[in-house]
Amino acid sequence: MTTTQSESHVLSKSCQYALRAVVYVARHASSSHLIGAQEMAESLEIPKHFLSKILQQLTRNQLVSSTKGPHGGFYLNDVNELTTIDRIVEVMDGPGLFKACVLGLPECSSTHPCPLHFEVVEYRDGFYHKLKRLTVKELAQFVHKGQIHL
């Protein structure tokens, strides 16, 4: 009778957290005032230790910057600010999210298409190219104007 749905999603939870965290840092941190994982976790309602892991991963890949010790924390340097969103998604969820076949076939191309390929490829690509053009800085600025939530 009832169904056991898998509850799929476009971006993994790690990736969603990563994006929200990066935007938060972009908005609240400066070179003089760093943001700690603690504060971020509370404000964004993300499990603290899990968020730490994610931030680690982002810093390792140089998408955010950090310093240890008292008054340490995370911030974005000039390069970090210009990171495009697709880079963050790539680091968190791997490449291939935007390349892979919707039906999970091993290959995806117009010369080797699945039945859905030509139906949906424009949306996948559109989404991808949008994220490719969008920087963290720009995204953070959206939060200022209008009632944008994190």
Query: With binding defined as CB under 7 A, does residue 62 bind DNA?
Result: no
CB nearer DNA, residue 68 or residue 149: 68
Stretch of 60-68, 107-115, 130-138, 139-147 lying at the interface with DNA (CB under 7 A): 60-68
- Scored b (16 or more CB within 10 A) or e, 27-60 reads ebbeeeebbbbebbbeeeebeeeebbebbeebee
The residues in 36-65 that bind its own copies, with binding defined as CB under 8 A, are: 57, 60-61
DSSP 17-83: HHHHHHHHHHHH--SSS-B-HHHHHHHHT--HHHHHHHHHHHHHTTSSEEE-STT-EEE--HHHHT-
Q: Which amino acid is at 26?
A: A
Selection from DNA, ligand FES, its own copies, none that 139 binds (CB < 5 to 8 A by kind) is: its own copies
Quote the Cα angle for 26-134-56, to 5°.
45
CB nearer ligand FES, residue 59 or residue 134: 134
Binding residues for its own copies, total number by CB under 8 A = 62
Selection from DNA, its own copies, ligand FES, none that 56 binds (CB < 5 to 8 A by kind) is: DNA
Query: With binding defined as CB under 8 A, does residue 34 bind its own copies?
Result: no
Among 16, 36, 98, 102, binds ligand FES (CB under 6 A): 102
